[in-house]
Chains A and B, each alone.
Chain A
Amino acid sequence: MDTAPTLADYEELADVEIDLSDTDLDRETIDAELERLFDA
């Protein structure tokens, strides 16, 4: 794939689900940062 990995990809790899309910962070923010890093 030539697109950035998403948080869901990492969760699939590690077979975990990261619960973000105790933080102000959301999946969209993390995915956007992953895309920025991928294109850096």
Chain B
Amino acid sequence: MERRTFVLSAGAIVGGGGLALGTGAFDSVEAERDVSITVADDADGYLSIRPHDGPNGAYATMDDGELAVELTDDNGAVAGDGVNANALTGVANLFTIQNQGTNEVELAVSPLTFLDVSGSIFPPSIDGVLGVLLVPQSGSWSVDPDRGVLSITDLAPGEETDFSLAAVAFPESAIDEVEIDDELLITAEA
């Protein structure tokens, strides 16, 4: 009597297990999982945008966590107040963009040409010209005239590229006559 009771009980256990595996059914699950996301400044973001580590990185500043190219008297890290008139100024190793994410990205920067011209059309005269050109350093780049951007392809995780700057200002009357106050758009797309 006792043995029969045991056999029936074992069968009931197996049958119950088969029912559960066959449907996977349950009424509800409640679980809590962690989600941690922080916001970093330009230097520490997944796309790191920061002044170059070299001495010319002083011409770029971090303003409220954002990179700014600052070749004016507002830049307390540099004694001068601006680029020379009647001259070509080159600033190598100005700022760095590094892919700190997990995917290879195509980096695009726009515009690369900044221009301010002061003068009159009639009679034709020029009081000042200031042209600023951002220069990618090494790597593979291409110009997309339709979008007005320069693309740097294949910036793998961990890779970085540096940017320099060239400025031309003329004539002498360009002093305090022309200036650049614009924005640089940097995009990265996987």
What is A's interface to B at a CB cutoff of 8 Å? 1-2, 4-5, 7, 9-16, 18-20, 22-25, 29-30, 33-34, 36-40
Asked if residues B93 and A13 are in contact (CB atoms below 8 Å), the reply is no
The smallest beta-carbon distance between B162 and chain A, in angstroms, is 8
Q: Is residue B168 within 8 Å, beta carbon to beta carbon, of the partner chain?
A: yes
Query: What are the interface flags for B140-153 relative to A under an 8 Å C-beta threshold, 1 for contact and 0 otherwise?
Result: 11110100111000
Asked if residues B170 and A22 are in contact (CB atoms below 8 Å), the reply is yes
What is B's interface to A at a CB cutoff of 8 Å? 86, 88, 90-93, 111-113, 115, 126, 129, 131, 133, 135-143, 145, 148-150, 162, 164-166, 168, 170-171
Asked if residues B131 and A18 are in contact (CB atoms below 8 Å), the reply is yes
Going nearest first, the 7 A-B pairs with the smallest beta carbon separation are A40-B92, A14-B113, A37-B164, A23-B170, A37-B135, A10-B113, A33-B90
| CA distance in complex: A15, B140 (Å) | 22
Specify the main secondary structure of chain B where it touches its partner. strand
Asked if residues B143 and A13 are in contact (CB atoms below 8 Å), the reply is yes
Query: Which of chain B's residues have a CB closer than 8 A to the CB of A30?
Result: 88, 166, 168
Asked if residues A10 and B170 are in contact (CB atoms below 8 Å), the reply is no
Asked if residues B137 and A37 are in contact (CB atoms below 8 Å), the reply is yes
With A23-B171, A37-B137: A12-B143 Cβ-Cβ less than 8 Å: yes
Specify the chain A residue showing the minimal Cβ separation from B56. Answer: A40
Specify the chain A residue showing the minimal Cβ separation from B140. Answer: A2
Query: Which of chain B's residues have a CB closer than 8 A to the CB of A34?
Result: 133, 135, 166
Asked if residues B86 and A23 are in contact (CB atoms below 8 Å), the reply is yes
Specify the chain A residue showing the minimal Cβ separation from B93. Answer: A40
